[in-house]
Homo-oligomer: A and B are copies of this chain.
């Protein structure tokens, strides 16, 4: 990180002196982006500020419960005194709103991504925070606002999303302490969880099934490969986005160390997702195919038909010495 963080108190003061605030979540917003934005928007309105969440694409179906007159896609809605971007740290994450963002005399960034550049007038970027919603929770308290049920549920939605319901390794002691405090605001935690995790399109279940059916195991079940084709998407009516959970399903199989999932984006454009549980370095695997990623989650693209891609990857996995 290049710059020093501003404190929540400093940012709270900036917001206190503003009359009109626009909040900018990133495109293809997830539960943390929308949850953080919604909590902050409600807090600012409770202080009498005019405030909107400005979006440029549709909110995902399972997040619509967080929006109750908070969002707008009308860039003419106001001339803001302060623009706040949440859960993102560069204008490329809200491309169609970048100009509008810069229009405000003061800008603020609240984010937890390591890659965030601190490009605003005021910045609070904490890569240790499991969710941006945790930072927004602290900011709202610094603003002197009492967290109500709706704000609490928005914060909880952000935390649930980014920690995979408190399962991912980014989850901190602080995450649970905040969750505990949110119960004091009267949140319906189970209701939020149901909205976030139990609003699955039927087409998604169908395409997941089709993908799992293609499963091939290697090394006595320690490696598993599967794929999805454009034809399967057509037949089930699902989108490629809806196959994002498949590689996790493959990895969840008992005894599986390495899960490989091939996605046919176009006839000769195959994206390969890699996941491992404990010891296989998939970043190394990926880099052998000019891809990138982390030790336990990585990916690359192959420019060939799906059948050929599948064979090439299968051959590579078969020969991996660490799987033997």
Which residue numbers of A lie inside 8 Å of B, CB to CB? 61-62, 160, 165-169, 171-174, 176-177, 179-180, 183-184, 189-190, 193-194, 197-202, 205-206, 209, 212-213, 215, 217, 221, 249, 251-254, 277
A252 touches B200 (CB 8 A): yes
Q: How many copies does the complex hold?
A: 2
A198 touches B166 (CB 8 A): no
Residue of B with least CB distance to A177: B180
The interface residues of chain B lying within 8 Å CB-to-CB of A176 are 176-177, 179-180, 183
Q: With A194-B277, A254-B199 in contact, do A172 and B183 touch (Cβ < 8 Å)? A: yes
- Give complex CA distance A189, B206 in Å: 32
Determine chain A's interface SS by DSSP, over half rule: helix
- Give complex CA distance A205, B160 in Å: 25
Residue of B with least CB distance to A61: B254
The interface residues of chain B lying within 8 Å CB-to-CB of A174 are 180
Q: List 10 A-B contacts (CB under 8 A).
A: A165-B166, A165-B167, A166-B179, A167-B197, A171-B189, A172-B183, A176-B176, A176-B179, A176-B180, A205-B215
Q: With A176-B180, A183-B172, A277-B194 in contact, do A202 and B253 touch (Cβ < 8 Å)? A: yes
4 additional A-B residue pairs with CB within 8 Å, beyond A167-B193, A209-B209: A168-B190, A173-B183, A202-B254, A209-B212
